[in-house]
Amino acid sequence: MSLPTTLPDQSGRTWLVTGATNGLGREVARAAAGVGARVLITARDAARGEWTRREIGAASVIDVDLASQASVREAAARVEEPIDVLIDNAGTITARRVESIDGHELVFATNVLGPFALTNRLVDRLRGRIVIVGSGAHKRSRIDFTDPHFRRRRWSVAAAYGQSKLADMLWALALQQKLTDRHHPATVQLAHPGWALTNLQNATGHARLDDAITAACRPFAQPADTAAASILVAATADLPPVSYIGPGGLGGLRGAPAHASRSPAAMDRSLAAAVWRLAAEETGTDL
């Protein structure tokens, strides 16, 4: 199925984009603003958020640290207007196991629990499309429901990031079911950027090594504005609920947006229900 690559006019519509101060989020916010959307962006660093707001023409900045449930609660309370498109894009990778202020493993806290709670707290203001950004990394991963925060088992970058992205894929399934049961007007879509040249790969903690990794990736990875296309299609195209959009070429790493494949685990509704229960318990939010 051919997918549109031109953004429709978004005048009169409001987008909220998380993680919009760099990389994919910034390109998504810039593109939405460019076709008339009123764009709200989130930022962990207020100064950087304000700089980005001026650069892309966003309407306002919402200060939030997605790894802190208190910060998420306060941020959601500051959003008073209806949201037509919510882009749950913000994510992180760490070089070692780190805990959030709430005692959660930081990758899981930022990539899953924060977006989960923010979306739940905004649900009564949502009226259009929710896009959750996944990753091909989910295909090689599993979720350990007995130890999701790696308190007992061995932590690794691949295990932590992959688990978080499989959880995002399953959260999307569960969220759509919850919205359908409530006859809520919003629908959920999934997207992944493929191999994107963003700051996400700069997680070693060593500037020289990060620079070397970026230089090695540059000839092969898509620039952020190209990689953001899949997210924009997921946000605006006429799609069945919980479609998964990603680059259509070179093993899903590059190319124009297309319907992407996902692992059997990512379509398991019993696992989706288990992810929902876990996230609801950890965040104290539910629908």
- The residues annotated as belonging to the active site are 161
Task: Tell me which DSSP letter residue 99 carries.
Answer: B
The upper half-sphere exposure of residue 271, i.e. CA atoms within 13 Å in the direction of its Cβ, equals 17
Q: Which residues of 30-45 are buried (b: 16+ CB within 10 A; e: fewer)?
A: bbbbeeebbbbbbbbe
Q: Cβ distance 24 to 7 under 8 Å? A: no
CA nearest 157: which of 144, 141, 136?
141
Identity of the residue numbered 52: T
Residue type (1 letter), 72: V
Closest alpha carbon to 168 in 138, 201, 123: 138
- CB atoms near residue 78 (< 10 Å): 11
Is 90:25 a contact under the CB 8 Å cutoff? yes
The first and second tokens of residue 282, run together, are 């950890």
The closest alpha carbon to 87, from 196, 201, 236, 226, belongs to 236
Residue of 174, 64, 63 lying closest to 115 (CA atoms): 64
Residue with tokens 């949502």: 126
| Residue 153 identity (one-letter amino acid) | R
H or E segment to which residue 88 belongs: strand 83-88
State the amino acid at position 31 in one-letter form: A
